[in-house]
Amino acid sequence: MPTPAMRPNFAATIMAAVPYRDMDRTARIILSHFPEAPCLPVMTRGIRWSLEGIPCVVIDRQKKSIYLDASPEREEELLEFYDRYEQDDLDYFATTRQTAPFFHDMIEAIRTARPPEIKWLVFHSAGPVLLGDIIKQPDGRPAMHHETLRDMLIKACSMKARWLERKIKTEVPGVEVVADLPETTLINFTSSGGTGSRESIVEAIDQGFSGLNCTTMIHCCANIDWSLLTETTVDVINFDAYAHSENASLYARQFKAFLDRGGMIAWGIVPVQEELLRRESVSSLVERLERGIEMFVRQGIDEETLAASSWIIPSCETVLLTEDDSDRVFGMTREISEIMREKYGLSGSKG
């Protein structure tokens, strides 16, 4: 957990996937709206950038699908993977410029025009449960249900995140890295019809973050049993506060224990669905956020602690919006951050 000096105090940041395709514009928008906590953008809807260093990948171009094949014929790939893992060979798991130029370009943009306010730098890399759910086995079942593939994906996610952390700390010294490993499909494993035990999901999430020496964040936009995440070792729980504040407040006792041990909450208060965005304003979203905070406070959470431990963020990625609507989401997120800091006497806060 970060030290108390690293409290966000309603700092604003974003999820990584954006609709922009021009790097100069993307960097300019992110740095102007979120100079304190910029994010490395993801400027593609594909997942190829998440797969470097992962063995047994099969790309079926005819069916437009990607799956993992752990048959005996792929054993050498798995052996090399585990050998590289045991050697702690982070470079083997690098996210290269060829698959993710946006990461490298954004780091260079920050180095060139480093905001004086910068304190955090956020990156996004797939969480192991998410990756093991969206990538299938040859028979169509999630790779997460295969013991070997599950173990491999957990280790791969950890190593890729560690490589990104190291790169950022090397290229942009003096910032606190925030590693966001989203788990947006947890509902598939934790619902009444789900297929994952509580212990196995917590273990997979924690192992995905293993080896990192930075602030860790997990995003889930579904309505789940939130105690599942408060029991992990993660630092920041990032949830869709626009839709689920009331449901999350039912777990106030667990969130209190989470905050007491130094945890933080990222309030995803700005919706990223076009129809919802059209009917909201900054003032209406501030009112909605204040109601959410009050729900937690009524359940016994100290308001001052909660405010100091809160981030402001969109409810999810803006990748499916138009560029203009994404601009609006980012502008509203920044304004809400400023308003909440003013309200709680945290204006000009640097942590």
* Model pLDDT for residues 20-63, shown as the tens digit of each residue: 999 999 999 999 999 999 999 999 999 999 999 999 999 888 88
User: Is residue 158 over pLDDT 70?
Assistant: yes
- What per-residue confidence (pLDDT) applies to 6? 82
What is the token pair recorded at 27? 């960097």
What are the residues whose beta carbons fall under 8 Å from the beta carbon of 131, sequence distance 6 or more?
A: 50, 143, 153, 157
- What per-residue confidence (pLDDT) applies to 222? 81
What are the residues whose beta carbons fall under 8 Å from the beta carbon of 85, sequence distance 6 or more?
A: 155, 159
Closest among 136, 58, 40, 132 to 95, alpha carbons compared = 40
Q: Which amino acid is located at 259 in the chain?
A: L
Long-range contact list for 295-298, CB < 8 A, 24+ apart? 295/245, 295/246, 295/249, 295/252, 296/248, 296/249, 296/252, 296/255, 298/249
User: Is residue 253 over pLDDT 50?
Assistant: yes
What are the residues whose beta carbons fall under 8 Å from the beta carbon of 26, sequence distance 6 or more?
A: 18, 20, 41, 43, 102, 106
Report which of residues 171 and 225 the model is more confident about: 171
User: Is residue 4 over pLDDT 90?
Assistant: no
Could you give the CA distance from residue 56 to residue 46 in angstroms, rounded to a whole number? Answer: 18
Q: Which amino acid is located at 91 in the chain?
A: D
What is the token pair recorded at 254? 């667990």
* Model pLDDT for residues 102-121, shown as the tens digit of each residue: 999 999 999 999 999 999 99
For the residues 292-309, what does the mean pLDDT come to? Answer: 96
Task: Compute the CA torsion angle 170, 212, 236, 9 (nearest 10 deg).
Answer: -40
Q: What domains does the chain contain, in order, with CATH numbers? A: 4-48+97-343 (3.20.20.210)
- What per-residue confidence (pLDDT) applies to 63? 81
User: Is residue 194 over pLDDT 60?
Assistant: no
Q: What are phi and psi of 77, to 5 degrees?
A: -60, -45
